[in-house]
Chain A
Amino acid sequence: MKATKHIKTLNNANLKESAVKGGCGECQASCQSACKTSCTVANQKCEK
């Protein structure tokens, strides 16, 4: 997405596409809790 004078888009929004292709479940679990620091979902990687 190109930047215009008024709006700069930071990413290639692909959530919808990811839903269609996704769901394989090979990624890590994403416990959000303080005692774990396993992985907050937003910073995880896709394993595909």
Chain B
Amino acid sequence: MIHKYRLGGYSICLDVHSGAVHVLDDAAYEILDCFDDNGPLPDELPERVTEKLSGRFDEGEIEETWEALLELQGHGLLYSPDDYEQFADMMTRAPIKSMCINISHDCNLRCEYCFAAKGDFGQGRCLMPLETAKKAIDFIIANSGTRRNLEVDFFGGEPLMNFDVVKQTVEYARSIEKQYNKNFRFTITTNGLLLDDDKIDYINREMNNAVLSLDGRKEVNDRMRVTPNGKGCYDVIVPKYQKLVAGRGDKDYYIRGTFTKYNLDFTNDILHFRELGFDQLSIEPVVSDPKLDYSIKDEDLPRVFEEYERLADTIIASRRRGDRYNFFHFMIDLNQGPCAIKRLRGCGCGNEYVAVTPQGDIYPCHQFVGMEQFRMGNLNDGTFDTEMKLDFAKANVYSKENCRDCWAKFYCSGGCNANNYQYEGDIRRSHKTSCALEKKRLECAIMIKAALAEDGDAKECDGDDCIEPCSILK
């Protein structure tokens, strides 16, 4: 299967099952247009194709292009077959390697769009006791098999509201990781309000990743991200984030925002992040009930697509000026990405990843928290539903009807099971609006690579996302 499209002046063809990305000229693009995306190309150039294209290209050129396409096909780089189902048994039950610890079901903001029912997940405001947090660490160690790298995300609610327990949990995990041959990697997700110098130092020392919530321009942020008495938080959090990021060193962080119907011009928010000095950026569409005013509805998609294109162009122009920053959702590694097995396995929720609540309840992931039918067990009574785990394990790309034949499957991994459940009623039925957005982002991401490759990439080469053939490596 191939997926081909034109964007930003480039004609691009992704060969889905090999992962090859080709930039085509018009002749090659139009020849492929004469065939079904599932291929394969026949041995001989059909006359109907020559006839159709003869007004536009001379015969020699058509012939030459045809030969080049056949050569790619021969090398398994065009219409390469889907032979991944043989790996399906690697996509079943797996050790748990990631955990979201909802260390606080309380929050000091009341963001309009909060999926967590304004911080408490509809379960009443409370903080996780240290004992429960320790049990969470014990649980992931016990269920992680031989996996060495374990990720723990302190999440909420607002984790800084229970920061002493965060610190003691980290200390506890560090005190036992060696004896179990584990390596913990911690992330904290925060709204920034309670950051102070001590917390910033601690986070920069101990947390491998810090996810900092901010939606963009002041008026955009303050419309949605407000305190209980309705005040925007921009002025309080921005200087704190700047301080934190300045001391981050080589550790990861993300500024993460949400865009809604109210800021469909979100490229301006990305540019605003740049003005503030941030360079690891993420803005995602709000996923919400379409009845809500701020929600992104299907009729907004053309406008959102246009904005993604504008953002892609903006990023290319910045790179050409030597200004480097990452927009998370356009980051794609065409050479060294994760293996195909991982890509097909899906997000891993309920199988490799679970979330735990202050009450010790275990859910497939943070988005399922509070849905009683998805409660998998409890840390305090030692219960854990391995049948449900298996069911989630099987929710991979090949068991999702729409994903199996989707060109984006190796980059999307089958989408978000929680969104699927909330909006389509089944974890295996993909949420169409999310699919449309995901595909558009991918098209933009690949187009950016094509544009940078065309620049000759000599000055772009930094080893970590280099494009072959690269003039420096050659």
Q: Which residues of A contact B (CB under 8 A)?
A: 1-16, 18-19, 21-38, 40-47
Contact = CB atoms under 8 A, between A and B. Distances in A.
B427 interface: no
A39 B353 CA distance: 13
B413 A34 contact: no
Given A6-B64, A22-B341, 4 more contacts: A12-B335, A13-B76, A34-B287, A37-B254
Contacts of B284: 34, 37
Contacts of A4: 68
20 contacts: A1-B468, A4-B68, A5-B25, A7-B24, A8-B453, A18-B338, A23-B87, A24-B339, A25-B342, A29-B352, A33-B287, A33-B365, A37-B211, A37-B282, A38-B153, A42-B331, A42-B333, A43-B333, A44-B342, A45-B338
A10 B453 contact: yes
A14 B20 CA distance: 8
Interface in B103-130: 115-116
A36 B366 contact: yes
A43 B22 CA distance: 19
Interface string B55-79: 0000000001100110010011100
Given A23-B341, A35-B115, A7 B72 contact: yes
Contacts of A9: 20-23, 72, 77
B347 A32 contact: yes
B151 A25 contact: no
Contacts of B64: 5-6
Interface residues of B, number: 87
A13 B98 CA distance: 29
B411 A41 contact: yes
A40 B268 CA distance: 23
Contacts of B445: 42
B328 A11 contact: no
Contacts, number: 204
A41 B468 contact: no
Nearest to A24: B339
Contacts of A14: 19, 335
A11 B334 contact: yes
B161 interface: no
Nearest to A10: B21
A38 to B, nearest CB: 7
A10 B467 contact: yes
B459 interface: no
Contacts of A25: 94-95, 97, 147, 342, 352
Contacts of A29: 97-98, 151, 347-348, 352-353
A10 B411 contact: no
Contacts of A36: 153, 189, 211, 366
A9 B78 CA distance: 11
A19 B333 contact: no
Given A29-B151, A33-B418, A45 B22 contact: no
Contacts of A16: 17-18, 76, 80, 83, 340
Given A25-B94, A41-B413, A7 B334 contact: no
Contacts of B367: 33, 35
Interface string B446-474: 00011001000000000000011100000
Given A19-B339, A43-B332, A10 B87 contact: no
A31 B19 contact: no
Interface string B208-252: 000100000000000000000000000000000000000000000
